[in-house]
Amino acid sequence: MTDHFAGRDIVDPYRWLEDPDSEETAAFVAAQNAVSRPLLEGLPARDRFAASLDVLLSAPTRGVPFARGEHVFAWHNDGQNQPRLVRATGPELLEDGETILDVNALSDDGTRAVSAASINDDATLLAYAVADGGSDWRTIHVVDLETLEPLDVRIGWTKWNPPVWLPGGRSFTYWAYPEPDGNALTDEMPAGALYAFDVDARTSTLIWEPPTDRTMAYHGPADDDWFVLTTRVGGEKGNDLWVRHRDEDDLGRIVEGGEQDWHPIGVVGDELIAHTDDAASRYRLVAVDLLTGARRELIAEGEDVLDAARLTASGIVAVFLRDAQYRVQLFGRDGTPGDELPLGAGISISGLSGRDVSDTVYVGTTSFVERGARFVVEVKGGELVRCDELPRPEGTARVAATTGRLRVTSSDGAEVPAFVVAPDGADGPRPTLIWGYGGFNIPLTPEFRAIFAAWVQAGGTLVVPNLRGGGEFGADWHEAGTKERKQQVFDDLYAVAERLISDGVTTAQQLALHGRSNGGLLAGAALTQRPELWAAVLPGVGVLDMLRFHKFTIGWAWTRDYGNPDDDGVADYLLGYSPLHNIRPVEYPPTLITTGDHDDRVVPAHSFKFAAELQHEGLGGPFLLAVDTRAGHGAGKPRDAQVEEFADQLAFAAHHTGLSPEQG
């Protein structure tokens, strides 16, 4: 198969691997796993990593509580494949709370996950969305919380958007698509629409249908008077805000975002409170008059990035990023600054829940060295009344390590920071794993992950760089790593790697690179551009074919970061770094490519084609492809499957960087 891009003929010899249902693709996957599985399972450190991961993933986890009606709810997991949702009459009673939904009961093998859940205001109904086998497709179910009996509700072909309850608590909105005509795991998504489902009548009503196919919409905050809708067309930056008063039939556009993002966080009277980068690269909080469209500023742009905000009954809780680490500050409803929460340094906010009818807020924290804490916070406007940590369950996971910051100068002279997490007492060059992403305005901040902890426990150093394209330093930092500027993300990574080597933190023979999704693209590009820097490279569920990513499922939405390959100018710069199209007959380091056969976000064809081309053209290696069955992009993966996948990846990285079980 030959395509024509940017004045060039581009041969695509493995196009046949894009069909996930063909016998040829099935045979290819079986043959790849027949080679990779024995090699991975025979790695010296694999059993040790599997045992360590089993302990880490069996440690109890507790989600951030949230209140509805007279109850408080939270997700709990004590080492099962999936969590359970519990309720109690107060946050301190959740440890002995009543289970209202056990996700483990939805499947025997743990491959069904709850990807979204929403409880109505009086806590009488729960709507939850189930994803099967790692797919992004969801089916919505409803439970009566007074009897804990499931209702005869099954709404299929939904994605991403959670059910959102409307005032009155007997109807919720959802975004759904027509049943696909072709392959639901690979075909470009059809046009969707917003519906309201009446639980009592068991009927759905169309609320809004987009004017173009490639439109995504999100039902924002609602009160008794106002309904708010956020819409985004195609993969471009910026979104519009639409509102409808209860006395009106039609939606009206109150904000035309252009190239600015507007995220509604609440309605107060006839004003919409929104988080925006309009005239503020580091974001600000604005009140929009829903009758006139007039705007007034509540929280101005500052030195720190305003990452999120929540309304309380009397004030605003604002979450800021400072050097890729979080702080939380209180404000009055008029934007007057108040107290800061004493949550400690070097942390991330793992969750924040609060409602505009209460002055109680629940906050969760995490860091690289411990899973974190949960706090009950009471406020009065901008004043902190109470900030108490909830008891941690016995056995909460921790790792003995020290976190530092490294600052390097990138190719364009900009400073790029990175987190360096080293075992306590570590010195001298050590096997080091870089975990990178650099895209889609997503910040990489301190976070406890089992895969991180297991590597550090074994004696390795972990490095998490804050590359351009991420959201650590605001909209401009993100923009600097998008479209024709994407190469800068890779250059930032190389600057970090070279500095680690020159500073004696590690050597090229001890340095591994791992990334997932857009981070898989990062790993693939780094493999083909700078193979001499790495002892091992591990692209996971990566975007690796930059000329055809927009042809599958939701790939068209990524043109916001990558550009549209159908444009010759865009295709020209994409060809400059597309991992699939830059494999040459040169020496490449050992590479482990991982994907899931049910990944309908970054379809597995990316990994299949990249592995086939690398095995055909590349020298060195080995080049392994490991395909997980009944698995998708990663969200909701059962605990047992996580142990197996992470053990493969860490054992592979350890083997090729010289990290032995005895070293840790």
- Angular region, 21: left φ>0, alpha ψ -120 to 50, beta rest: alpha
Residues whose CB falls within 8 Å of the CB of residue 557, separated by 6 or more in sequence, listed in order:
214, 216, 234, 235
CA torsion 380→381→382→386, rounded to 10°? 20
CA torsion 46→50→52→58, rounded to 10°? 170
Strands 591-596, 536-540: pairing kind: parallel
Active site residue 478: no
CA dist 46 and 175 (Å) reads 43
Strands in 178-324 per DSSP E: 193-198, 203-208, 215-219, 226-233, 240-245, 252-256, 262-268, 271-276, 284-289, 295-299, 305-311, 315-322
Name beta bridge partners: 331.
316, 337
Active site residue 660: no
Alpha-carbon Rg of the chain, whole angstroms?
Answer: 24
Handedness of CA 110, 141, 89, 359 (dihedral sign): positive
Residues whose CB falls within 8 Å of the CB of residue 97, separated by 6 or more in sequence, listed in order:
74, 76, 86, 87, 88
Beta carbons of 161 and 145 less than 8 angstroms apart: no
The catalytically annotated residue of 71, 76, 581, 633 is 633
**Residue closest to 455 by CA, chosen among 424, 429, 422, 428:** 422
CB-facing half-sphere around the CA of 330: CA atoms within 13 A: 27
The catalytically annotated residue of 115, 517, 578, 607 is 517
Q: Which residues are catalytic?
A: 517, 633
